[in-house]
């Protein structure tokens, strides 16, 4: 765009050029003199008559010059106005193009973003499916390995049981043979020192059998149980989480478990079930040498005294019915205590937490665990039914294949039981 002063100068030059050509063509006019004050000197002013008829005569060359200057000035203004309006129009057109371009880019970016998000989501889904498939394969392999280990453990347990029974039969046969020989010698000779020798051998055999039984009680699991959960110490972090097979809304139940406690304090939890509002819905715990079953609250309980021996396997069963509040405790397949009106008309609600070796209560920050209530020792064969078992069924739980019969709410070896904080499965 040319500057305003340059346009004005060009316009004046054009006007003077036109005026020069007009002067050359009109020889009848005389050149006028322009003084320093820009005043044009010309002929003397005309008379009134001449002035009166001035409108009828033709324009002089100076009139034409001024007219041309006025026209050029108007044209200059028009050109400047056009030049001023031209950038504004171009700017508006440029703004419209930029707006259209921004709209197009926004649509393109949105489309690309949605496509990229869709591709990323599909990739994440594929990755998740692959991870899930890998996890399933790993769980399947782990399940196979665990099944193989359990089978081997079962075989070893069966072999140990067979060896133990064979050794006992052999010891009994040897004792009988020894007794027969001593009887024969005594009948034939009548020597009293033979009887004393036989008595010593019998005492020695009984001592060996007692040692063997103690070793088996300490190192072997109850018959038919392949695995147990070891609680190595009392700790508020060590427990077992049980996930029942069916709902826990119960109007009656029977719970059985094998346990070998290292030491029983005033309250040592074997298992507990509680909700957010009541942590004492079901509890089976030890109190020194007694076993205690609590239902509905800590006050509704039944105790069986003198049944707990630290370091020895103990089979406990507790049953309860809300119909008349009847409760029973069984130890080693025999009825140890019973009572009526224990939490009568109460119903165990669903939605609680079932745990082994701990009680979740409000003692600690966040409703955590109490170390003084923790169990230390071994637990196995935990089963829970939604009914009261008969005396014969309870007795069968403590003899024979004790872990072969499983409850319909919790079945040992079928229901998921997860150890935490250092608790672990042993065989």
393-420 pLDDT, tens digit per residue, is 999 988 877 788 899 999 999 999 999 9
The pLDDT value given to residue 391: 95
The pLDDT value given to residue 410: 96
The pLDDT value given to residue 30: 42
More confident residue, 66 or 389: 389
**Distances, alpha carbon 96 to alpha carbons 89, 99, 100, 104, in Å:** 11, 5, 6, 12
More confident residue, 90 or 4: 90
The pLDDT value given to residue 105: 85
More confident residue, 154 or 42: 154
The pLDDT value given to residue 1: 45
CA distance 244 to 352: 10
> How confident is the model over 110-122, as pLDDT tens digits?
888 888 888 888 8
Does the pLDDT at position 267 exceed 60? yes
The pLDDT value given to residue 80: 81
The average pLDDT across 138-149 equals 69
Identify any residues that bridge with 360 across adjacent strands, giving them in sequence order.
369
The pLDDT value given to residue 230: 96
The pLDDT value given to residue 285: 97
The number of beta carbons lying within 10 Å of the beta carbon of residue 355 is 20
Question: Which letter, b or e, does each residue of 246-258 get, where b requires 16 or more Cβ atoms within 10 Å of its Cβ?
Answer: eebebebbbbbbb
- pLDDT interval class at 136 (50, 70, 90): confident
CA distance 321 to 302: 13
CB of 256 closer than 8 Å to CB of 391? no
* Contacts of 195 by beta carbon, 8 Å cutoff, 6+ apart: 182, 186
- pLDDT interval class at 184 (50, 70, 90): low
The average pLDDT across 225-253 equals 94
Window from 87-91, 190-194, 312-316 with minimum mean pLDDT: 190-194
The pLDDT value given to residue 244: 96
CB of 280 closer than 8 Å to CB of 294? yes
The average pLDDT across 74-94 equals 80
Look up residue 297 and give its two tokens. 């609250």
The string of DSSP letters for 92-141 reads HHHHHHHHHHHHHHHHHHHHHHHHHHHHHHHHHHHHHHHHHHHHHHHHHH
Does the pLDDT at position 26 exceed 50? no
Q: Which of 399, 385, 408, 414 has the alpha carbon at shortest distance from 320? A: 385
Which residue spans within 262-362 are E strands per DSSP?
268-274, 282-287, 290-295, 301-304, 314-321, 326-331, 334-339, 353-356
SS3 (DSSP) at 41: strand
CB of 285 closer than 8 Å to CB of 267? yes
SS3 (DSSP) at 201: helix
CA distance 64 to 21: 12
**Is residue 259 within a helix (H) or strand (E), and if so which, with residue range?**
strand 252-261
Dihedral sign (CA 21, 22, 24, 30): negative
- pLDDT interval class at 217 (50, 70, 90): low
The pLDDT value given to residue 423: 96
> How confident is the model over 300-354, as pLDDT tens digits?
999 999 999 999 999 999 999 999 999 999 999 999 999 999 999 999 999 999 9
Question: Which letter, b or e, does each residue of 387-406 get, where b requires 16 or more Cβ atoms within 10 Å of its Cβ?
Answer: bbbeeeebbbbbeeebbebb
Angle between helix axes 61-189 and 4-25 (nearest 10 degrees) is 160
Look up residue 260 and give its two tokens. 């070998």
CA distance 293 to 298: 9
Window from 146-160, 166-180, 252-266 with minimum mean pLDDT: 146-160
């Amino acid at each position: 765009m040319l500057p305003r002063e340059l346009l004005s100068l060009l316009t004046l030059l054009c006007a003077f050029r036109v005026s020069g050509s007009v002067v050359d063509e009109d020889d009848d006019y005389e050149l006028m003199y322009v003084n320093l004050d820009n005043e044009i000197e010309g002929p003397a002013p005309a008379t009134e008559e001449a002035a009166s008829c001035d409108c009828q005569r033709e324009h002089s060359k100076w009139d034409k010059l001024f007219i041309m200057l006025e026209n050029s000035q108007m044209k200059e203004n028009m050109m400047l106005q056009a030049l001023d309006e031209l950038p504004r129009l171009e700017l508006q057109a440029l703004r419209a193009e930029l707006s259209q371009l921004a709209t197009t880019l926004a649509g393109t970016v949105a489309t690309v973003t949605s496509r990229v998000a869709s591709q990323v989501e599909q990739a994440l889904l594929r990755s998740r499916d692959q991870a899930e498939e890998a996890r399933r394969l790993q769980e399947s392999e782990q399940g196979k390995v665990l099944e193989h280990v359990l089978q081997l453990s079962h075989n070893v347990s069966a072999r140990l049981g067979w060896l133990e029974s064979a050794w006992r039969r052999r010891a009994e046969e040897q004792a009988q043979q020894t007794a027969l020989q001593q009887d024969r010698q005594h009948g034939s000779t009548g020597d009293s020192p033979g009887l004393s020798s036989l008595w010593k051998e019998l005492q020695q055999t009984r001592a060996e059998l007692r040692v063997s039984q103690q070793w088996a009680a300490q190192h072997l699991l109850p018959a038919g149980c392949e695995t147990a959960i070891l609680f190595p110490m009392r700790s508020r972090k060590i427990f077992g989480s049980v996930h029942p097979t069916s709902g826990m809304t119960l109007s009656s139940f029977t719970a059985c478990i094998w346990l070998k406690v290292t030491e029983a304090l005033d309250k040592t939890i074997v298992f507990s079930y509680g909700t957010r509002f009541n942590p004492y819905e079901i509890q089976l715990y030890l109190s020194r040498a007694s076993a205690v079953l609590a239902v509905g609250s800590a006050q509704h309980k039944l105790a069986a005294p003198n049944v707990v021996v630290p370091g020895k396997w103990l089979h406990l069963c507790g049953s309860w019915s809300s119909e008349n509040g009847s409760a029973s405790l069984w130890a080693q397949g025999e009825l140890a205590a019973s009572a009526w009106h224990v939490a009568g008309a109460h119903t165990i609600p669903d939605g609680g937490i079932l745990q082994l070796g701990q009680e979740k209560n409000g003692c600690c920050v966040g409703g955590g665990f109490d170390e003084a209530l923790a169990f230390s020792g071994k637990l196995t064969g935990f089963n829970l039914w939604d009914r009261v078992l008969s005396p014969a069924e309870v007795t069968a739980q403590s003899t024979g294949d004790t872990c072969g019969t499983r409850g319909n709410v919790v079945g040992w070896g079928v229901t998921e039981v997860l150890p935490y904080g250092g608790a672990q499965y042993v065989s």
